[in-house]
Amino acid sequence: MSEYISKWQREAIAQRANGCCEYCLMPERFSLFTFHIDHVISLKHGGITHLDNLAYCCGICNSNKGTDLGTFLNNPETIIRFFNPRTDQWLDHFELIEGMIHHHTIIGEATIKIFKFNEVERILERKLLMEGGFIGSFK
């Protein structure tokens, strides 16, 4: 689902994110594709088109997330919400080690699962960018 986002809003969102996907940390300048503006809470679920609900997002993360807000992990009766870049701190939920994103919380685990952060190609790409100093080595 899409809603008009002005050029000004898009630039402000990209700048706030330092040109990187706010979920998987991929820098846009190393991507073949233009990044997307994600509604953290999708329009389908009542989210609005406002800076407080928008995130800079690579196409892979945006495609994997879709309009979802969370997923099931081990308990089929409990939905675990995804990481919210507007209200959560990345390092509280994740850790980046040699290109692989590890989780600290169930929110991180749910996000990694559905966003498919750790597909082999994505790990290798992230590892190369880390080695080149283009993605921070968070610990």
User: Which residues, including other chains, have CB under 8 Å from residue 54's CB and lie 6 or more apart?
Assistant: 5, 9, 13, 37, 38, 39, 40
Smaller CB separation from Zn ion, 8 or 33: 33
Determine, following the binding rule CB under 5 A, whether residue 61 of this chain makes contact with Zn ion.
yes
Q: Is 24 in the site for Zn ion (CB under 5 A)?
A: yes
- 23 scored as a contact of Zn ion (CB under 5 A): yes
Of the candidate residues 21, 40, 80, 112, the single one contacting Zn ion (CB under 5 A)? 21
Query: By CB under 5 A, is residue 13 in contact with Zn ion?
Result: no
Min dist. Cβ of residue 23 to Zn ion (A): 5
For residue 28, give Cα distances in angstroms to 67, 85, 97, 122, 137.
22, 17, 20, 14, 17
Specify the residue, 61 or 96, whose C-beta has the smaller distance to Zn ion: 61
The stretch among 22-30, 74-82, 91-99, 102-110 that binds Zn ion (CB under 5 A) is 22-30
Residue 94 binding Zn ion, by CB under 5 A: no
Among 3-11, 53-61, 94-102, 122-130, the segment contacting Zn ion (CB under 5 A): 53-61
If one asks whether residue 101 binds Zn ion (CB under 5 A), the answer comes out as no
Residues in contact with Zn ion by CB under 5 A are 21, 23-24, 26, 58, 61
